Structure 1
Amino acid sequence: MTPERFQELSREESLRLLASVAVGRIVFTHQALPAIRPVHHLVDDGQVIVRGDPGTILLSAVDTVVAYEADSVAADDSIGWSVIVTGMARRLDAASPPGRYRALEGDGYFIQIRPELVTGFHAGPRA
């Protein structure tokens, strides 16, 4: 296997790639310990929107700094790209999500992550 070379991506390219997939992982603190949950997301005007299900621990992410990560992994387990967004998570009012958030189907609530830090990289074989 050829070692991978990592190329840093711009903020714009990172958010574009993040918007190209529907599932990622939110990293937050629950009962003073790190927690990671897979969730569906969409990117709306540079903000990451995730849906939480009623009664889940994801509510402990609200009003805290979280990380959100998504990636693309090929069938041979090589990483195509990875994006990590870090920022404050806020619960959106029931009246505020526009209809396009309905793509995140299900009963629940919406959490908006305002990206303060956006890092991304593309990994490919070394030339």
Structure 2
Amino acid sequence: MLPSIDIEELAEADCLELLRAEPVGRLVFTERALPAIRPVNFVLDGHDVVVRSAPGSWADRLGGSIVAFEVDRIDPATHTGWSVVVLGKVATVTDVDTLVRLSDPRHRPWAPGRHDRYLRIRPGTITGRRLALGRN
């Protein structure tokens, strides 16, 4: 018999801590009136999610768009894990001092090629849930 699972709503501070622990998330947006999802490397800058992309890519069309950004970790053996969702508006980062600060080599995208376009997602909401073993 499987143990019971509890669903816990996470506080924003817990969500931010979990986001900082993962290098990859899923960016959800609309492309040609259809839903699109891209796995991307990211860095957290305060409460903002920053994604680097290649010039001339799908990301060029996102400025001013409302997007979702999701990160999770799931254990299929125990049926436990967590998910954090950030909903917010995308802005292109152009301030030179900010670009220098965000260009930390430890946070380079995994995909090959040039990734010198920086997109900032300013959260409107940050929500999260955890599936944990029940306390029977």
TM-score, normalized by length of structure 2? 0.83
Name the SS for the 2:99 alignment partner.
Answer: coil
Provide the identity percentage: 32
How many residues align? The count is 127
**Residue 108 of structure 2 is aligned to residue 97 of structure 1:** no
**Per-residue CA distance 1:26-65 (angstroms, 9 max, x = gap):** 0001111110000001111111111112332122222110
Aligned 8 A contact 2:11 2:128 in 1: yes
Hey, what does 1:68 align to over in structure 2?
69
**Residue 132 of structure 2 is aligned to residue 120 of structure 1:** no
- The structure with the largest alpha-carbon Rg is 2
Hey, what does 2:85 align to over in structure 1?
84
**Residue 44 of structure 2 is aligned to residue 43 of structure 1:** yes
Structure 1: gaps (5+ residues): none
Q: Distance in 2 between matches of 1:42 and 1:29?
A: 22
Amino acid paired to 1:107: R
Bigger shift: 49-58 or 27-36?
Answer: 49-58
Deviation beyond 4 Å, 4+ runs, structure 1: none
The alpha-carbon deviation at position 2 of structure 1 amounts to: 3.2
Hey, what does 1:57 align to over in structure 2?
58
Hey, what does 2:114 align to over in structure 1?
107
Hey, what does 2:34 align to over in structure 1?
33
